[in-house]
Amino acid sequence: MTYSAATLPTPLGTFMVIADRETVVRSSFGSDLEALRDWLPDPAAEIRVRADLGRITEALRAYFDGSDVLAIDALPVRAAGSPSMQRLWNALRRVPAGEVCSYAELGGERRFARAAGTACARNPIPVIVPCHRVIASDGGLGGFGFGLDAKRWLLDHEAAATGRSLDLTA
């Protein structure tokens, strides 16, 4: 197996995406390819760095420049994880751009809020699997692996592009 990787500049810094053909298997802010290897379905596989990943790169450019924040919704993704993690990551993909849900809502019940938070923290495909759209029940931002300023930017970016208004406390 061979993966392909590409980076692109964004308003939040360099964004890296790793794909198995047309399917995204890892993404992250930054450009440290080796730091992402352990999160891949096959960490020992060869990774070829490319200038462009076609449809994947096009969708990410459209998302980050605001011309089409919905473009990433059509990208196929695959991540290794338990059935519970898979269910929660799939639920994340159903949260529309420009909207948010709470950790409890994502988990399905308040008692599953912690599991939802864990799924967000372990999300190997951030932005495309939009864990940034999950907030605390009190309307606060909650957490985000790339910092709350980045989370706020992503939420504001999506809200502006979709014409929605977000009422967040932080």
Which of 131, 134, 136, 141 is flagged as catalytic? Answer: 131
CA nearest neighbour of 39 among 21, 27, 50: 27
Active site residue 120: no
CA end-to-end span of the chain: 44
- The contacts of residue 13 (CB under 8 Å, 6+ apart) are 29, 30
Beta strand pairing call for 23-29 and 134-135: unpaired
Whole-number Å distance between alpha carbons of 77 and 52? 17
CA distance 115 to 10: 30
Question: 155 and 142 in contact (C-beta within 8 Å)?
Answer: no
State the catalytic residues. Answer: 131
